[in-house]
Structure formats: structure tokens, C-alpha cells
Amino acid sequence: MSDELNYVLQARREKIAALAALGVVPFAYGFDRQQFAGQCAALLGDAADGPVVHLAGRVVALRAHGKTTFAHLGDPSGRVQLYFKRDVVGEIAYAVCDLLDLGDVIGVRGPLFRTRTGEVTVRVEHLELLAKSLRPLPFGKEEEVDGKVVRHAAFADGEQRSRQRYADLAVHPEVRALFTARSRMTTAIRGFLDALGYLEVETPVLQSMYGGAAAKPFVTQHNALDMPLFLRIADELYLKRLVVGGFERVYEIGHDFRNEGTDRTHNPEFTMLEFYEAYADYTTMMGRVEALLIAAAGAVRDALTAAGLASDAPAFDAAVLAGPFPRMEWLPALSQALHVADVTAMTDAELKAAAERAGVHNIATLSRPKLMDELFQHHVESHIERPTFVVDYPKELSPLAKPKRGNPALTERFELFARGKELANAFSELNDPLDQRQRFEVQARLKAAGDEEATGVDEDYLRAMEYGMPPMGGVGVGLDRLFMYLTGTAHIRDVILFPTMRPE
């Protein structure tokens, strides 16, 4: 998009001069707003005439009829019609009205009344231009059909809507409502954890050693210290240090960064919730996750309902979200899906043949547990529709989880799935520093062998653990994906205000 002034932009700039000739400054310092558009209907009630209102907002529709003009003013509460009549506002103000454009930010004052067609309207007596719009916002025209708003020639280019989210938001109230719902969801999650005595903390984004997950990091450089720093790929190791320190229930909501490709479920920076609770095991955490999800869904449902956006998305599905969520054991579920008595009894050749049929790639390079994991993803995970806990993962797939009591081949780990996607991942956390050191060393060897996602030995973390780390349960929840699930949104870019994109 060029910044050269085309005829449209030029015309708006010329209006600045015309306004100056009328003695009007096109950019104000403030306005004494006393009501919102959404209140007007109630203020007028059934009467033909109502009280004077002071409103501010953006001109979202404009219809000039010579010596009268109709417009709609949009503000955070909704929109209301404005009626400008030359005999009422006066010559000067009407001249200003004639210079109004779609998108201008204005303040108005005047009494409410009802038009011939019954619409609640402000009979504008006083008009203030608060910010002249010098660039046309991509408003579509709207009409009401059977009570529903139909938008014509709307701003539809997904790329531009993401790049210019300010314009997307300005012309699409329902997009504002969606992001409002996201904010309410986060608030509800904070409230849920705070009520349980959790402490919200902040841990480093810039780390000299990254860990807590397997992912390629972003690297940056600290000039004064002359050293490389990594953007965190997980919060986990710092939060668990805090449990050692005596903060027994901690959580953090923040961005993690992973240097990977983008697609409909991946953005290089994304919002992660992690929470850790001393003396809890994964069973306790399962209950926490279930209650947290229900609380989050309630907040999303309430916010969307308030905006008139009730739908059939999962947040509105009482049956799905009532709990308790079904539980499914990893090994028996896989055995059942493969129609065998015990998947662990299958030979390597049988597993590979099954993987072949499932369309798994690079089968030759995969270990037995990885093959089984691929089969699990293909045959089980992708078919899970309603929120379901998958419990007790094989040890090889869960390097950070404690062995399962009574069956050391498994770990005390669960993941929550819905609509075929992972929503949460949790364990009874490993708190044995000797075991932890061995696992770090395995990672270090992988890293030395060229594995870009492996991490090194975090000596400081081991030192913390050696001081004595209480047993604890820990959970990670990707909030972008949780919100996507609850709202039925297909693309992560549609739930992130400013998704990562190449520059134009």
C-alpha cells in the first residue's frame, strides 16, 4: 500500500483547510462524554422525546440529504443514529457536518427523539470534530435483513485485517467482541488461580540458558554484557525454582517464543499459562484443569453473549463443559484403536506396518515409543472431540514426569484434548535431582550431536533442586489454543491481535 496521496487521501487533506477556514481545529484534546450509544434506547424509553446526551465516537455511517444529514455514531457500547438539521445546529456547524467523513471521531450533544421510522436518534445541537480521519476506513455497508446485520463489500482480506488490526477492529464490532472475550477469559483464569492462593509471578524472558521444552529458540545479543541470550521457550524451570524458594503455588501468563514455522495453530510467540502447586500430584492438577477450563468457558460465553454473539461454539455447549471430563488411559486406548490385546506386545515389524498404514512419515528413523506416539496421535488424539483427559503416558515420551506409582514403565502425566487438539499438558513433576541430572545429560548429548531442539545441563536449576524441591503438580496451557477451542476459531492469527508477519 503506497503512501502517495491518491485522490481519496488528497480530498480529505483538503478538508482540513476548509475546516480551518471555518475556524475549526480538526484534532481535539478531549471531550466530556456523559453517555454511551448503547444507553440511548433505555434513556428514551417509550417516549417521543428524551433527555440531552453527550456522546463521543466514530462516524460509522453517513447519509447526507442536503440540509439534513443522518449518521451513525459507534462507541464501545454500540451505535446510535444522529440527525443533523441545518436549522438546528446552525450554519457553521452544518458546514462542518458537510465536511464529515466516514471514520471521523466526533463528539455530539443533543436530545434524544424517535424518527418517523421509529429509530432512537440524537437531534444534534452541538457538534465537535475530535479527530479528522485522513484515510478511509474499509467500512462495508450494512443492512438489516430479518433482524440480522448483513454487511456488503466488507473488509475481507485476511492479510490486511491481520496487518492493520486497528482497521479490522475499527470496522468490525464483532472482532472487538472476540478479543474482549479473550481478555475476559484471561481475567477469569487469574481469578480462578488467585482464589486458590496462587501467586502470579514474572520470570525471565531473556535467558542465557533455555529449557523446559523441546524447541528451537530465538537468539539475541546483549551488547553491554557481550553475550548471547535466548528468548524463553517455556516458563517451567524458573517457576519450579520458585517452589523451591517457598512460593508453593505460582503461575505465570506470558509469551513463549519458538523458532518454528507458522500455520493455523502456530505463531512464533504465543501465550502460555503455567501453574505449579506444591504437594499436589497430577490427579489434583486434573481437577484444577477441569475447573479452570469451565471457568474460562463461562467467561468467554458471558462476554460473547453480552455482545450478542451467542453461537454453537464449545463455550456455549453446556453438555461438553459440565465435567467431569472423560478419562482415557494411553496404552489401553491405543491397543483398542489398533484392535490388539496389548500394543506393547506388538513386534517392531507390526508397529511399523501399522504406522505405514496410518501414513506416518520417516518411519525408519523412529524409535518404538515414537512409533506408538505417532499411532496414538493418528488413531486416538485426532478423533477426540469433547474435552478428554489422556492419562499415564509411556516413560520414554515424558522426560519431565515422575514414574507412575505401581508401574514404572509409565509416567504420571496427562494431556487434555478436544477437537483433536492438545489443550493442556501436566505431570507429577520430577523432583529428584540425581534423576534430573541424568536426563539433562541425555539432552546435552543430543544437543552435541546436532539436535537443535535439545537443551543443555542447567546447573543452576539442579542446584535449586538439590536444596530440596517439594513434590508438585505442574500444568501448561496454551491460551491461544484454549481460546480457539472455546470460540471455534480455526486460525491462531484470528485470536492474536498482532500475529507475526513478514513486513509488507
Partner RNA sequence: GACCCGGUAGCUCAGUCGGUAGAGCAUGCGGCUUUUAACCGCCAGGUCGUGGGUUCGAUUCCCACCCGGGUCACCA
By CB under 7 A, the residues from 268 to 327 that bind RNA are none
Cα–Cα distance measured from residue 187 to residue 486, given in angstroms and rounded to the nearest whole number: 15
Q: Which residues pair with 250 in a beta bridge?
A: 199, 276
24-50 burial, b at 16+ Cβ within 10 Å, e below that, comes to bebebeebeeebbbebbeeebeeeeeb
DSSP string, 238-305: HHHHHHHTT--EEEEEEEEE-----BTTB-SEEEEEEEEEET--HHHHHHHHHHHHHHHHHHHHHHHH
Site map for RNA, 484-503, x if CB under 7 A? -------x-x-------xxx
- Of the pair 121, 316, the CB lying nearest RNA is at 121
- Of the pair 188, 401, the CB lying nearest RNA is at 401
Helices (H), 362-410: 368-379
Question: Of the listed pieces 79-87, 237-245, 282-290, 303-311, which binds RNA according to CB under 7 A?
Answer: 79-87
Question: Of the listed pieces 55-63, 249-257, 274-282, 464-472, which binds RNA according to CB under 7 A?
Answer: 55-63
Q: What single-letter amino acid sits at 118?
A: G
Q: Is 450 in the site for RNA (CB under 7 A)?
A: no
Within residues 104-123, the interface with RNA by CB under 7 A covers: 113, 115-119, 121
Within residues 178-217, the interface with RNA by CB under 7 A covers: 213-215
CB of 225 to RNA, least distance (A): 28
- Of the pair 67, 405, the CB lying nearest RNA is at 67
Q: Is 471 in the site for RNA (CB under 7 A)?
A: no
Cis peptide bond prior to 324, omega within 30° of 0:
yes
- Of the pair 214, 444, the CB lying nearest RNA is at 214
CA-wise closest residue to 205 among 162, 247, 238, 177: 238
Within residues 366-425, the interface with RNA by CB under 7 A covers: 370, 373, 397, 399-400, 425
Q: Is 29 in the site for RNA (CB under 7 A)?
A: no
Cα–Cα distance measured from residue 120 to residue 98, given in angstroms and rounded to the nearest whole number: 22
Q: Is 453 in the site for RNA (CB under 7 A)?
A: yes
User: Binder to RNA among 154, 205, 295, 444 (CB under 7 A)?
Assistant: 154
Question: Of the listed pieces 60-68, 191-199, 346-354, 430-438, which binds RNA according to CB under 7 A?
Answer: 60-68
Q: Is 70 in the site for RNA (CB under 7 A)?
A: yes
**Three-class SS state of 223:** coil
User: Binder to RNA among 28, 31, 39, 86 (CB under 7 A)?
Assistant: 86
User: Binder to RNA among 16, 41, 61, 462 (CB under 7 A)?
Assistant: 61
CB of 224 to RNA, least distance (A): 31
- Of the pair 222, 264, the CB lying nearest RNA is at 264
CB of 502 to RNA, least distance (A): 3
- Of the pair 271, 425, the CB lying nearest RNA is at 425
Question: Of the listed pieces 132-140, 304-312, 348-356, 382-390, which binds RNA according to CB under 7 A?
Answer: 132-140
- Of the pair 314, 478, the CB lying nearest RNA is at 478
From the DSSP assignment, how many helices (H) and strands (E) are in the chain? 16, 21
Q: Is 3 in the site for RNA (CB under 7 A)?
A: no
Task: Tell how far CA 239 is from the center of its chain.
Answer: 22
- Of the pair 160, 186, the CB lying nearest RNA is at 160
Cell of 239: 517457576
- Of the pair 28, 358, the CB lying nearest RNA is at 358
Cα–Cα distance measured from residue 382 to residue 330, given in angstroms and rounded to the nearest whole number: 14
Question: Count of residues binding RNA (CB under 7 A)?
Answer: 75
- Of the pair 255, 266, the CB lying nearest RNA is at 266
Q: Is 144 in the site for RNA (CB under 7 A)?
A: yes
Q: Which regions of 37-157 does DSSP assign to beta strands (E)? A: 49-64, 68-75, 78-85, 105-114, 120-123, 126-131, 141-145, 148-152
Burial group, residue 433, by CB count within 10 angstroms (0-12, 13-18, 19+): middle
Report the 10 Å Cβ neighbour count for 65.
9
- Of the pair 156, 291, the CB lying nearest RNA is at 156
- Of the pair 15, 184, the CB lying nearest RNA is at 15
Q: Is 159 in the site for RNA (CB under 7 A)?
A: yes
Question: How would you classify residue 419: left for phi > 0, otherwise alpha for psi between -120 and 50, otherwise beta?
Answer: left
CB of 319 to RNA, least distance (A): 28
CB of 121 to RNA, least distance (A): 6
Q: What single-letter amino acid sits at 174?
A: E
- Of the pair 85, 386, the CB lying nearest RNA is at 85
Q: Are 245 and 224 in contact (CB under 8 A)?
A: no
**Which CA distances in Å does 18 have to 131, 244, 435?**
15, 68, 77
User: Binder to RNA among 28, 39, 126, 160 (CB under 7 A)?
Assistant: 160
360-395 burial, b at 16+ Cβ within 10 Å, e below that, comes to beebeebeeebbbbbbbebbbbeebeebbbbbbbbb
Q: Is 68 in the site for RNA (CB under 7 A)?
A: yes
Q: Is 11 in the site for RNA (CB under 7 A)?
A: yes
Q: Is 148 in the site for RNA (CB under 7 A)?
A: no
Instruction: Return the DSSP state at 401.
Output: B
